[in-house]
Amino acid sequence: MATISTHVLDTTQGLPATGVTVVLQAQDGAEIASVVTDGDGRVSDIAGDDLPTGVFRLVFGTGPYFSARGVQAFNPEIVVSVVLPEHKHYHVPLLVSPYSYTTYRGS
């Protein structure tokens, strides 16, 4: 089975984004797991090792994260669709600011 992790960095502060809710969804939108980033902005294993291959969505709750800091964000949530084509580990970092974001396949 595949596994997936994430790391969220707040590029406006140059710090990890702690307390960001991350929801993992199946392609049809069904929720698989809901987690919150730790003090280092990380979630080491979102859904355990129970993921089959396929297409999934990570929904990052960036609106509440920025709102808690007194900042209005352009993207109240960021949805990143990913394909997990093999049974191995996938890391999906997110670099975020109130008006933009970048993601990539990490290691």
Per-residue b/e over 46-76, b at no fewer than 16 CB within 10 Å?
A: bbeeebeeeebbbbbbbbebbeeeeeebebe
**List of domains in the chain:** 3-103 (2.60.40.180)
Predicted local distance difference test score (pLDDT) of residue 22: 98
DSSP-assigned states of every residue in 25-78: EETTS-EEEEEE--TTSEES-SSTT-B-SEEEEEEE-HHHHHHTTT---S-S-E
7 is in an annotated binding site: yes
| Residues 32-89: tens digit of each pLDDT | 999 999 999 999 999 987 799 999 999 999 999 999 999 999 999 999 999 999 999 9
Predicted local distance difference test score (pLDDT) of residue 97: 97
87 is in an annotated binding site: no
Q: Is the pTM of this model over 0.75?
A: yes
90 is in an annotated binding site: no
Predicted local distance difference test score (pLDDT) of residue 48: 83
Average pLDDT for 10-15: 96
Max Cα separation, the chain?
A: 41
Average pLDDT for 13-17: 97
